[in-house]
Structure 1
Amino acid sequence: EKEIKKIQEYEGRIRELSDAVKRNNIHIIGIPEEEKREKGAEGVLEQIIAENFPDLGKEKVIEIQKAQRTPFRYNLNRSSAQHGIVKLAKYKDKEKILKAPRDKHTLTYKGRHIRIVADLSTETWQARKDWQEIFNVMNRKNMQPRILYLASLSFRIEGEIKVSPNKQKLKEFITIKPALQEILRGIL
């Protein structure tokens, strides 16, 4: 029992370190392979910003530290769209770039739909995905849920905003909130 807790604690620390290293990174999904070869990931990001958020590009120059393609298995039977990772010099630039698609809803690159997301560890994406069903139920009940960085759930109840870092803490919290217990019955 003690060893299992210790292992989980170490795994959590490793995940946090991995995500900290990726803090300024964004992940671009859906760019055709040939485009990346021609322009490089930096050029592609600049084109995406110019095409989708002209105001963002005018504010100031977004400094790119490094850009690279992610490893990909090439499939000759279909056209390939690779992923790219761009490391920005400033975290604020990353936040601006990630916020812009929320306002616009769809992003394009030369007419093709693309996505830009935060570059997080697989474990963090899984932890965020684990909140999805609870998030959807709370959203239908107008509790204004949000998944916070890294993978905590924030929601409004009785005029207050509560944050739960994991499902265990949420289970403990709902024991004193019968209305929330009813809403999440069978899910948690």
Structure 2
Amino acid sequence: MKREMDDIRDLYIFDVLKMKRSLDDLASLACTLESRVNEQEDAVEGLTKETMHLAKETIDKERLREREDRLRSSNLRVIGIPEKANRENGAVDIIKEVIEENFAELEDQSLEIVSAHRIPNSVDEHRLTPRHILVKFWSADDKQRILKASRAKKEITYRGTKIRLTADLSPGTIDARSQWASVIKTLQEEGFQPRILYPAKLAFEFRGKTKVFFDIEEFKKFISDIPYLKGLLSNIY
């Protein structure tokens, strides 16, 4: 009888110890899981902070770009007019002559020039092309009228020399527009009539509709579902 009681007691103790080990294992597992959860939460929080920081930087850059573009909204760049030291008219007179030579229909619209000058101000003897002339009009509407007329005429000249007129844009907007250069060239060759809309949006004609894209990622997503365009632009993306 005593032996049987001892066996029962030993079995009970064994079961208790076994249960205790199981509880210890569970507690250890719980600690490990909690540690991993904490690590993941920290990682997510860090990623969120980094993402928020990047988003804020992007927004700040966009705001700065928009602010700079607004300040330049009435400015026009005239590109390609030769420089003749001490023998050329002042920049304001040159612009008036360009308007008279190319846009006689606008002379009656009282286009008011605030200022005009070469940029950069200093002459670089190693520069191979003439400096641009930066023109500031009284209003952005005056600048737009000239740009619209130049697009309609297509070829603009100054005393017989071909020149180019373009809006004066911030460096950020110029960079954003330049990213579309290869796409525009390819689409032009295929007759899609691509063009840049302000400030740096791509527009082109596709299946009877005008498609507009704000950035390259949006454009890449669009062409990924259209095998013809995807193949056409495969050497770019």
Shorter-chain-normalised TM-score: which range? 0.7 to 0.9
User: Which is further off, 171-180 or 114-123?
Assistant: 171-180
Equivalent in the alignment of 1:14? 64
Other-structure match for 2:109: 60
* Deviates most, 131-140 or 107-116: 107-116
Q: Secondary structure at the match of 1:68?
A: strand
Range that drifts further, 28-37 or 149-158: 28-37
Deviations 1:117-146 (A, max 9, x none): 110012211221210111121122222211
Does the CA-based 8 Å contact 1:124-1:151 persist in structure 2? Answer: yes
**Aligned-partner SS, 2:90:** helix
Aligned runs of 1:109-188 on 2, under 5 Å? 109-188=158-237
SS of 1:120's equivalent in the other structure is coil
Partner of 1:28: 78
What is the number of residues matched between the two proteins? 187
Letter in 2 for 1:24: S
The Cα shift of 1:33 comes to 4.6
Any idea what the Cα deviations from partners look like across 1:1-44, whole Å, max 9, x if unmatched? 42233212211211111111111110122334558996433222
Task: Give matches, 1:41-80, under 5 Å.
Answer: 41-57=91-107, 59-76=108-125
Distance 1:105 1:114 in 2: 11
When residues 120 and 36 of structure 1 are mapped into structure 2, their CA distance, relative to the original with a 3 A threshold, is farther
Contact kept in structure 2, 1:36 and 1:44, CA below 8 Å: no
Within 2, Cα distance between the matches of 1:80 and 1:174? 38
d(CA) in 2 for partners of 1:160, 1:80: 40
Give the AA of the match of 1:95: Q
1:63/1:26 CA distance change after superposition, 3 Å: same
Relative to the length of structure 1, the TM-score reads 0.84
CA distance in 1, matches of 2:201, 2:109: 32
Q: Distance in 2 between matches of 1:152 and 1:83?
A: 25
Bigger share in helix: 2
Structure number with higher strand proportion: 1
Runs of 4+ displaced beyond 4 Å? 32-39, 76-80
Q: Secondary structure at the match of 2:193?
A: coil
| Aligned CA distance change for structure 1 residues 156 and 109 (closer, same or farther; 3 Å) | closer
Where 2:78 maps in the other structure, the secondary structure is strand
Structure 2 length normalisation: TM-score? 0.68
Higher mean C-alpha displacement, 20-29 vs 75-84: 75-84
Larger RCO: 1 or 2 (CA < 8 Å, sep 6+)? 1
Deviation at 1:92, TM superposition (A): 2.5
**Cα root mean square deviation, aligned:** 2.6
Residues 53 and 153 of structure 1: CA distance in aligned 2, closer, same or farther (over 3 Å): same
Is the 1:35–1:44 Cα contact (8 Å) retained in structure 2?
no
* Residue segments in structure 1 that go unaligned for 5+ positions in a row: none
Match of 2:45 in 1: none
Greater Rg by CA: 2
Seq. identity, %: 37
CA distance in 1, matches of 2:71, 2:112: 17
Q: Residue type of the partner of 2:219?
A: L
3-state secondary structure, aligned to 1:147:
strand
Q: 1:54 to 1:14 in 2, by over 3 A?
A: same
Deviations 1:37-89 (CA, angstroms, capped at 9, x unpaired):
964332221111111222222x3210123333322442457898332211112
